Amino acid sequence: MTSDDALRKLEEIHRPPHPVLIELEQRSARDGVSLGSRVTGRFLSTIVTAMQANRILEVGTGYGYATLWMALAQPAVGRIWTIDPDVVRTDVAREYFRSAAEDDYIEVFNTPATELLENFPHRNLDIVFIAANKPEYAHYLELVVPMLKLSGLAIFNDCLAMPEFAERFLRHEALDATISPLGIGIGARRQ
C-alpha cells in the first residue's frame, strides 16, 4: 500500500471534520489559497486535546484552518493568539471563526511576526505552532522557546523542506525534539 493509499484509507475511517472546516476547505479551493492538510489539522487537534492546551500562539493564520482545528479542540477557557500580516486572509479567517462560534477565543494580530514576537506579552504557552515565512523559522525558534512553559510544545510545519533548520531544531538544547515523516517538527521544552 502506498502512502497515498494509506492516507485515503485513513480519511475513509476518520470522522468527518467539523462542517465549518469543510466549508473552509471548499472556500480555499475556490480562492486558490493553500491550506494545511487534514492530517496536520487532526494532529494539532489531538495534541491540543491531549494537553488540554489553553494558551496557544500561532504564526501564520492564513485562512485560519489550523487555528480552527486547534480552537475546536481547546477547553472552553482556551485562548489562541494568531499572527499574520495579511489582512485580507485574516478577514476570511475571522468569518470562519465567527461561523464556528470560536471568535471570542481567538485574537488575530495583523503585524509581521518577528516584530510582535520580540515583545509578545504572553508566557507559559502550552503550544506554539509555526506555519509561515520559512526563511524566518530559525529566528522564530529562538523567540518562541522562552515563551513556552516547561513541557510546552514548539510545533513547526514542513521542517523537512529546510534541512539546515531541521538540524538546528533537532539539536536545540532546550527542546526534546523530533520531526515526523510528514515533516512536522515537534519539540517539548525541557529547560
47 three-state secondary structure = helix
Question: 190 falls in which pLDDT band (50, 70, 90)?
Answer: very high
Pinpoint the alpha helices (H) of 15-119. 19-31, 38-51, 65-73, 87-99, 113-117
Average pLDDT on 179-188 reads 94
Report whether pLDDT(188) > 90. yes
* CA pseudo-torsion sign 78, 41, 99, 49: negative
Residue 173 grid coordinates? 538544547
The 10s digit of each residue's pLDDT in 63-91 is 999 999 999 999 999 999 999 999 999 99
What is the predicted pLDDT for the residue at 9? 77
Comparing 11-25, 52-66, 172-186, the range with the smallest average pLDDT is: 11-25
Contact 128, 101 (CB under 8 A): no
| DSSP secondary structure letters along 76-94 | TT-EEEEE-S-HHHHHHHH
Cα 172 from chain centroid? 20
Specify the pLDDT at position 191: 81
Domain boundaries, the chain: 3-189
Q: What is the pLDDT of residues 99-143, one digit of tens each?
A: 999 999 999 999 999 999 999 989 999 999 999 999 999 999 999
Which pLDDT score, from 0 to 100, does residue 182 have?
A: 85
Question: CA torsion sign, 104 to 110 to 112 to 117?
Answer: negative
Neighbours of 5 (CB within 10 A): 9
The grid coordinates listed for 50 are 491531549
Residue 53 has pLDDT above 80, yes or no: yes
Query: pLDDT, tens digit, for every residue of 146-159?
Result: 999 999 999 999 99
Q: What is the mean pLDDT of residues 25-45?
A: 93
Cell of 133: 515565512
CATH number of 3-189: 3.40.50.150
Q: How far apart are CA 149 and CA 164, in angstroms?
A: 26
Instruction: Please give the average per-residue pLDDT across 47-67, as a whole number.
Output: 97
Checking if the pLDDT of 167 tops 60, the result is yes
Say which amino acid occupies 157.
N
| Residue indicated by cell numbers 523537512 | 160
- Half-sphere exposure in the Cβ direction for 132 (13 Å, CA): 22
Residue 7: pLDDT over 80: no
CA distance 47 to 2: 26
Q: At a CB cut-off of 8 Å and minimum separation 6, what does 126 contact?
A: 51, 53, 54, 55, 56, 148, 149, 152, 153
Q: Hey, what amino acid is at 160?
A: L
> 63: which 3 cell numbers?
485562512
Please say if the pLDDT value at position 1 is more than 60: no
Indicate the pLDDT class of residue 8, thresholds 50, 70 and 90: confident
